[in-house]
């Protein structure tokens, strides 16, 4: 069933979980801005959605840059209408054990995940509060609970949970909800890069991951997109400040 034609921005929407989410929200009937650092790839994802009968545009922007974020949100409002759905999905990894982690590894990860979600949410909430309706979903991770080699990433993903709860408290009275989705192991270029870094064939890496997942399979981008579809939907207005693990088993 098609939902109202609201406007959604999906950051990091060029590929992986972001692209699956952009496709899913477009199938839900939303007009989708696929925002990514990789502008050409964002445009390709948008073109594929349009070819399938959806409404989408590609937008190039770095979510950690305040001026680019402001310009991108303005552009979306101008071309599609006020963005009242925001999915903070853009992400990078710079894994290293603490003693080898550089300041640049730390700052890059904090910049994209935390500063990026802050800048995007601050820009988009102007439209949401004006409309009296909004949905913000930020991508946390099971790594928020700690993961070897990811001091930067786990700190950022845990930080996004606190960020989300605070947005829920501040924005609730404007009809805006904020939730976090925390995936476990999802098959994307990001996990492929991790397999490469540790020198394990990706198929073996997935098999090993599946053995420790109760549902015995790796997650797919579509698993995460389906959860985001619910949290950005019309019927989830009383669910706010939550962290939903999409990990094939219990985490808290």
Ligand X SMILES: NC(=O)c1ccc[n+]([C@@H]2O[C@H](COP(=O)([O-])OP(=O)(O)OC[C@H]3O[C@@H](n4cnc5c(N)ncnc54)[C@H](O)[C@@H]3O)[C@@H](O)[C@H]2O)c1
DSSP one-letter string for 41-63: HHHHHHHHHHHTT-EEEEEE--T
Site string (179-218) toward ligand X, x via CB under 6 A: ----x-xx-xxxx---------------------------
Q: Tell whether residue 159 is a contact of ligand X (CB under 6 A).
A: no
Residue 232 near residue 128 (C-beta atoms within 8 A): no
- Nearest 5°: the CA angle 13, 204, 246 is 45
Q: Which of 118, 133, 153, 245 is catalytic?
A: 153
Q: What span, in angstroms and rounded, lies between the C-alpha atoms of 192 and 217?
A: 16
Q: Which two tokens stand for residue 174?
A: 């404007």
Cβ proximity to ligand X, 84 vs 188, nearer residue: 188
Q: What span, in angstroms and rounded, lies between the C-alpha atoms of 87 and 64?
A: 15
Site string (97-136) toward ligand X, x via CB under 6 A: ---------------x---x--------------------
- The residue from 7, 10, 14, 231 that contacts ligand X (CB under 6 A) is 14
Q: Tell whether residue 150 is a contact of ligand X (CB under 6 A).
A: no
Residue 216 near residue 210 (C-beta atoms within 8 A): yes
Report residue 41 CA to chain centroid gap. 16
Q: Tell whether residue 227 is a contact of ligand X (CB under 6 A).
A: no
Catalytic annotation present for 245 = no
State the residues that interact with ligand X by CB under 6 A. Answer: 11-12, 14-18, 36-38, 62-64, 89-92, 112, 116, 139, 141, 183, 185-186, 188-191
């Amino acid at each position: 069933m098609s939902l109202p034609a609201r406007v959604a921005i999906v950051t990091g929407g060029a590929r992986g979980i972001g692209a699956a989410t952009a496709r899913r929200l477009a199938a839900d009937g939303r007009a989708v801005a696929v925002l990514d650092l990789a502008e050409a790839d964002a445009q390709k994802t948008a073109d594929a959605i349009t070819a399938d009968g959806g409404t989408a545009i590609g937008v190039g922007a770095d979510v950690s840059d305040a001026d680019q974020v402001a310009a991108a949100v303005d552009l979306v409002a101008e071309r599609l209408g006020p963005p009242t759905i925001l999915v903070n999905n853009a992400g990078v990894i710079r894994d290293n054990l603490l003693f080898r982690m550089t300041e640049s590894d730390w700052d890059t990860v904090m910049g994209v995940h935390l500063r990026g979600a802050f800048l995007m949410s601050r820009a988009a909430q102007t439209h949401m509060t004006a409309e009296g309706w909004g949905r913000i979903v930020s991508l946390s991770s099971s790594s928020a609970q700690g993961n070897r080699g990811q001091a930067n990433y786990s700190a950022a993903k845990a930080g996004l949970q606190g960020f989300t709860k605070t947005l829920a408290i501040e924005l609730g009275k404007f009809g805006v909800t904020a939730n976090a989705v925390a995936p476990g192991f999802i098959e994307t270029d990001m996990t492929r890069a991790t397999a490469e870094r540790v020198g394990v064939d990706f198929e073996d890496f997935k098999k090993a991951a599946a053995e420790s997942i109760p549902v015995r399979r790796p997650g797919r981008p579509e698993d995460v997109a389906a959860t985001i579809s619910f949290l950005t939907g019309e019927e989830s207005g009383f669910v706010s400040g939550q962290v939903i693990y999409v990990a094939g088993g219990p985490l808290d």
